[in-house]
Amino acid sequence: MLYFTRWKALGIILTALIVCLCAVPNFFPEAQVKSWPAWAQRRIVLGLDLQGGSYLLLEVDAAYVKKERLDQVRDDVRRTLRDAKIGFTGGVTVRNDAVEVRITKETDAQPALAKLRELSQPLGGLMGSSGQRDLEVTDAGGGVIRLSVPQAAVLDRLRKTIEQSIQIVERRVNELGTVEPVIQRQGNDRILVQVPGLQDPTRLKELLGRTAKMEFRMVDTSVPPDQAQAGRVPPESELLMSASPPPTPYVVKKQVLVAGGDLTDAQATFDQRTGEPVVSFKFNTSGARKFSQATQENVGLPFAIVLDNKVISAPVIREPITGGQGQISGNFTVQSANDLAILLRAGALPAPLTVVEERTVGPGLGQDSIEKGQLAAYVGSILVIIFMLLTYRLFGVFANIAVAINVAMIFGLLSLLNATLTLPGIAGIVLTVGIAVDSNVLIYERIREELRGGRNAISAIDAGFKRALATILDSNITTFIAAAVLFYIGTGPVRGFAVTLGIGIITTVFTAFTLTRLIVAWWVRWKRPQSVPI
Amino acid sequence: MTHTVLIGLGVLIAILTVVSALGLLPSLRIVPDDTHFDFTRFRRISFPISAALSIVAIVLFFTHGLNLGIDFKGGTLLEVKAKSGTADIAAMRTSLDGLGLGEVQLQQFGGPENVLIRVAEQPGGDAAQQAALQKLRGALGDSVDIQRTEVLGPRVAGELLAYGMLGLMLAIVGILIYLWFRFEWQFALGAMIANVHDIVLTIGFMSISQVDFDLTSIAALLTILGYSLNDTVVIYDRIREMLRRYKKMPMPQLLNESINSTLSRSIITHVTVTLALLALLLFGGHAIHSFTAVMMFGVVLVGTYTSIFIAAPILIYLGVGEHREDAPDTATPAKKSKA
């Protein structure tokens, strides 16, 4: 137990040294570290509770995703049957999470079934051969054909929706000019957004809470709005309200001339004549062509700019717009024009997002937490160090050296992993100091016992290490299991605690098995002690 | 001020280190070398006490309940700091009560300028919570700095609670399996009973003190669990060793010997952990106050008691070493070999 080959000793010291050195970048300003080689840039990230910032958990409306898919299937069914000239009665209905259609003629039932089966596509992805399809087309009897969306297909769609949403959210958050935001998927239907330094997320929530589905549509002038409000809306049109107060009804055709996806750029500017804030935009080539054609055909008629099913404005087309660019005015303030420009540039969300969890910490409170955590850490460590010195004297010095290296290694490993340090995480480190000396206490008490049992100094030390190490391993693994579970279930600050506790256990076991032993072994070789001052 | 104290303590450490390295310091023996407390006999008192306390804790849990924090209950929490230096709680209450958000709890903490505002979960799902936050922000206006906000919708809160409980179960089962591998099943079972005992008593404490029960409480519970087990395992390790060495020693005596020989370690480690926790409790700020308070109770009060008075003696009832008298007596001394 007390014999180390030269190489082994060197290996232990080098390992400890390298891990400790990993903590070095934390002591330099961030800007300076940026100029270092990439492998030297790893450092501890402060959690939002310490540096201040906003944490938002957004949820995609899964019901909306499903409903939209069913609506799409309904339109597909209608079109397919019409194209195939197959008659159906009672329309195509969405019922019980499925689309149903009743075929009029019995002889048409089989061809209809065959046609509709063509709508069903195999589910993509890595498991392409799984045999799953995105639609299940069944004959429900009595001429009714039922098209249902299987759970796997819904989840697949939800996954794609989340992926798209994350891209859009990323673009919108980046437009705010924030520093190092974190945007991640969480679970099946959630997106986590962390923005360090953002104290009031109200504007961010406003930006993320809007789908921003932009459409250019014609106003239906065949019916006055007040008559439409009384219930006489033509089937190919719908009644929409204005975006800005007072709420004004508009009858707008359902057909979309150009959609927001055809926009390439949008900027908030001021109108040259009136001086009011407006949003100017540019179409891509296909958007420009569609828009120019539509405006040529409808000179003198009003068209509506619709955002999230609300009419922003409904100007009259005075002349064909062929340049592929234009501007939107609609009682904007500078801020709302800016927001709309951001939303248009970033693109529309495939489904609405709602905030299901929000946590913000102001920078002042974070700084306060850092100071308190530091103070507690210093005081805790000092108390433990003094107590160990009083209890074990020289061996207390050994223990304190081991604990100091232990803590340095915790910071090294945290940096290496780019781990997040939170306030409970600091508590975890302080607790580790308390627990880390336990390994020394176990060894020393065992040595004392062996000495009482009549062994001589060196053999007592040797036996003390041998017997105590097995116990140290067993007792630390139980705590490690608890830390691992905590890491798995926890989020944010709690996860930070699990990380420091778990890493603390690893470094504690490492120092107990190697460094403490090495220090004592050197002392034994140097002193050749007859008695142990323990 | 704190810096001077810290520097002073640092100098003290330096001096102590030199003095101890030179061997000039008398050794501090907290526990005498040879103790012979009859811990096992105490089980006739400790078991009924623990049973009674556990029942009290369970009753408290059902009558008093836990003070569920926002993590598990949902709702809105704001921590504000009055710009003027003193928060006018009465005025705040009047303006916030008028918002129609149900009961608004206001609580001063830390200093006259800090106020914690809590509003229960609003009916109407996630959007309603966000609307409540908007109203609160509006009503508070510019007179305060908002230091911290937390808004949790009903579903997330429910999930967090379920996850927390699941985690607690997972940890217990995981540790049980590990102990089962390393020891015999009786030890694993004994440790688990001790575990559950720790958790039940700590939950009782949380019920009496009405500290917020939130995610950090789960973290505290898991740490208590890990730490208390750490203690238990140290004693179990010793029991196993003694079982191998002294094949004829009666079980109660063997348990006593094991506990007594690890007593010094138990107490010294306890002091160090208590010192660390004490520093956190006194200087760590209110954000982790309930976290450390719960740990202090669980680790310092319950954990050690459990390892010594429950986890070890319960092995007798679980039948550890029952057939030892039948075992062939290998050449081992029947009594202690230590002089």
- Alpha-carbon distance A81 to A116, whole Å? 8
Q: Which of B152, B169, B187 represents a domain boundary (last residue)?
A: B152
The arithmetic mean of pLDDT across residues A330-356, rounded, is 87
pLDDT of residue A530: 85
Give pLDDT, residue A222: 83
- Let me know if residue A150 belongs to a domain: yes
What is the model's pLDDT at position B335?
43
Mean pLDDT in residue range B317-333: 61
The predicted pLDDT at position B338 comes to 40
Distance (Å) from the alpha carbon of B163 to chain A's nearest alpha carbon: 6
Question: Among partner residues B175, B234, B237, which is closest to A481 by beta-carbon distance?
Answer: B175
pLDDT digits (tens, 9 = 90+) for A103-137: 888 888 888 888 888 888 877 655 555 667 888 88
Q: Is residue A405 located within the same domain as residue A492?
A: yes
Question: Beta strand pairing status for B67-68 and B212-213?
Answer: parallel
Q: Is residue B276 part of a domain?
A: yes
Q: Is residue B290 part of a domain?
A: yes
Digit-coded pLDDT (tens) for B201-242: 999 999 999 988 988 888 888 888 888 888 889 999 999 999
For chain A, counts of helices (H) and of strands (E): 16, 18
Output the pLDDT for position B336: 42
One-letter-per-residue 3-state SS of B178-211: HHHHHCCHHHHHHHHHHHHHHHHHHHHHHHHHCC
| Res. A27 pLDDT band, cuts 50 70 90 | confident
pLDDT higher than threshold 60 for residue A522 = yes
CATH number at residue A488: 1.20.1640.10
Cβ contact B147–A354 (<8 Å): no
Please give the sequence-ordered ranges of beta strands (E in DSSP) within A131-236, or none if there are none.
Answer: 136-141, 144-148, 182-186, 190-196, 214-219
Q: Do residue A373 and residue B137 have CB atoms under 8 angstroms apart?
A: no
Tens digits of per-residue pLDDT, A141-168?
Answer: 878 888 888 888 888 889 889 999 999 9
Residues in A touching B264 (Cβ below 8 Å): 445, 448
Q: What is the mean pLDDT of residues A71-83?
A: 87
Give me the percent of chain B exceeding a pLDDT of 90: 31
Same-domain status, B181 and B89: no
**Average pLDDT over all residues of chain B:** 86
Among chain A residues, the shortest Cα distance to B74 is held by: A357
Question: Residue A200: its pLDDT value, please?
Answer: 85
Q: Structural domain of residue B84, as residue ranges?
A: 75-152
- Domain span including residue A34: 6-50+363-527
Q: Measured between CA atoms, how close is A343 to chain B, in angstroms?
A: 21
Would residue B59 count as lying in a domain?
yes
Which residue of chain A comes nearest to B168, CA vs CA?
A: A485
Same domain, A445 and A470: yes
| pLDDT value of residue B332 | 45
CA separation for the pair A419, A74 (Å, rounded)? 49
Inform me whether the pLDDT recorded for B25 exceeds 80.
no
Are A226 and A313 part of one and the same domain?
A: yes
Q: What is the pLDDT of residue B204?
A: 94
User: Is the pLDDT at A35 greater than 80, yes or no?
Assistant: yes
The answer to whether the CB atoms of B30 and A434 lie below 8 A apart is no
B148 and B270, same domain (yes or no): no
Q: ipTM for the complex?
A: 0.87
Q: Which chain A residues contact residue B288 at CB under 8 A?
A: 423-424, 427
- Answer yes or no: is B258 within a domain: yes
Residues 6+ apart with CB under 8 A from A84: A111, A112, A115
Asked if A442 and B265 come within 8 Å (Cβ–Cβ), the reply is yes
pLDDT at A457 over 70: yes
Over pLDDT 70: what percentage of chain A?
98
B57/B135 same-domain check: no
Dig out the tokens for A157 from the structure. Answer: 């769609």
Whether residues B188 and B233 share a domain: the answer is yes
State whether A498 and B219 contact (CB < 8 Å).
yes
Mean pLDDT of A476-492: 85
The per-residue pLDDT for range B45-94, each reduced to its tens digit, is 999 999 999 999 999 999 988 998 888 989 999 999 998 888 888 888 88
Q: Does A106 fall in a domain?
A: yes
- What is the mean pLDDT of the segment spanning B173-178? 88
CA distance A510 to chain B (A): 17
| Whether residue A505 sits in one domain with residue A402 | yes
Closest CB to A424: pick one of B152, B261, B288: B288
In a domain, B22, yes or no: no
Please give the residue of chain A at the shortest CA–CA distance from B273: A434
pLDDT of B219 = 86
Band of residue B339 on the pLDDT scale cut at 50, 70, 90? very low
Domain boundary (A358, A390, A424) is at A358
Is the model's pLDDT at B180 over the cut of 60? yes
A312 and A397 assigned to the same domain = no
| Selected residue with higher pLDDT from B333 and A265 | A265
What is the per-residue DSSP string for B5-60? HHHHHHHHHHHHHHHHHTT-SPP--SS-SS----TTTTHHHHHHHHHHHHHHHHHH
CB within 8 Å: A386 and B215:
no
What distance in Å separates residue A64's CA from the closest CA in chain B? 16
A200/A339 same-domain check: yes
With respect to residue B324, please indicate whether it lies within any of the assigned structural domains.
no
**Chain A CB contacts of B265 below 8 Å:** 438, 441-442, 445
Same-domain check for residues B215 and B87: no
Torsion, Cα B202 B203 B208 B214, to 10 degrees, reads 110
The string of pLDDT tens digits covering residues A244-263 is 888 888 899 888 888 888 88
The domain that holds B234 is classified in CATH as 1.20.1640.10
Q: How many structural domains comprise chain B?
A: 2
CB contact (8 A) between residue B268 and residue A441: yes
pLDDT at B115 over 80: yes
Q: Do residue B280 and residue A430 have CB atoms under 8 angstroms apart?
A: yes
Reported as a pLDDT band with limits 50, 70 and 90, residue A320 is confident
Report, as an integer, the average pLDDT of A394-422: 92
> What CATH number is associated with residue A296?
3.30.1360.200
| Same domain, yes or no: B100 and B146 | yes
- Whether A340 and A471 share a structural domain: no
Query: Can you give the pLDDT at residue A393?
Result: 87
State the pLDDT at residue B238. Answer: 93
Name the minimum distance, in Å, from the CA of B10 to any CA of chain A. 7
**B34: exposed, middle or buried (Cβ count in 10 Å: 0-12, 13-18, 19+):** exposed
Per-residue pLDDT tens over the stretch A236-245? 888 888 888 8
The Cα B339–Cα A462 span in angstroms is: 20
Q: Taking a C-beta distance cutoff of 8 angstroms, is the pair B225, A479 a contact?
A: no
**What is the average per-residue pLDDT within A76-96?**
85
pLDDT band at A4 (very low <50, low <70, confident <90, very high): confident
Q: Per the CB < 8 Å rule, is A386 touching B9?
A: yes
**Domain membership flag for residue A13:** yes
B15 is a domain residue? no
**Domain shared by B176 and B295, yes or no:** yes
A–B CB contacts, 8 A cutoff, strictly below: 273
In this structure, is residue A87 part of a structural domain?
yes
Q: Cβ–Cβ of B272/A445 closer than 8 Å? A: no
Say whether both A388 and A276 belong to one domain: no
The confidence score (pLDDT) of residue B247 equals 86
Cα separation, B233 vs B226, in Å, equals 10
B291–A388: do the CB atoms touch at under 8 Å?
Answer: no
Chain A's closest residue to B145, CA to CA, is: A362
Q: Are the C-beta atoms of residues A446 and A467 closer than 8 Å to each other?
A: yes
Mean pLDDT of B317-332: 62
Tokens at residue A244, please? Answer: 């800005």
Distances (CA, A) of B276 to A17, B104, B132, B247: 26, 36, 40, 40
**Is the four-CA dihedral B160, B165, B170, B172 of positive or negative sign?**
positive
- CATH number assigned to the domain comprising residue A72: 3.30.70
Q: Are residues A203 and A306 in the same domain?
A: yes
What does the pLDDT read at residue A124? Answer: 65
Same domain, B98 and B53: no
Residue-level pLDDT at B328: 47
Pairwise CB contact (< 8 Å): B283 & A358: no
**Domains: count for chain A:** 3
**Percentage of residues in chain A with pLDDT exceeding 90?**
24
Range with the poorest average pLDDT among A337-341, B19-23, B256-260, B274-278: B19-23
Render pLDDT for B290-307 as a digit per residue (tens, 0 to 9): 889 999 999 888 888 898
- Among B79, B156, B174, the residue with its CB nearest the CB of A356 is B156
Contact B171 A498 (CB under 8 A): no
- Express each pLDDT in B125-142 by its tens digit: 888 888 899 899 888 888
- Note whether A244 and A345 are same-domain residues: yes
Q: How far is it, in rounded angstroms, from Cα B310 to Cα B47?
A: 7
| Same domain flag for B138 and B177 | no
Q: Are residues A400 and A343 in the same domain?
A: no
Helix (H), strand (E) at residue A306: strand A303-307
Does residue B205 sit in the same domain as residue B92? no
Angle at B102 between CA B99 and CA B105, to 5 degrees: 95
Is A113 among the domain residues?
yes
Residues B262 and B313 in one domain: yes
**Which CATH number does the domain housing residue B131 bear?**
3.30.70.3400
The mean predicted confidence, pLDDT, of chain A is 87
The answer to whether A478 and B226 are in contact (CB under 8 A) is yes
Mean pLDDT of the region B252-269: 91
- Residue A263 to chain B, least CA–CA distance (Å): 30
- Residue B27 in any domain: the answer is no
Mean pLDDT of A448-462: 91
Give yes or no: residues B53 and B100 share one domain: no
Q: Given a cut of 80, is residue B21 above it in pLDDT?
A: no
**A211 three-class SS:** coil
* Mean pLDDT (whole number) for A337-366: 89
- Give the pLDDT mean for A489-513: 88
The pTM assigned to this predicted structure is 0.82
A260 with A334, same domain: the answer is yes
Chain B residue closest to A475 (CA)? B230
Whole-number pLDDT of residue B277:
92
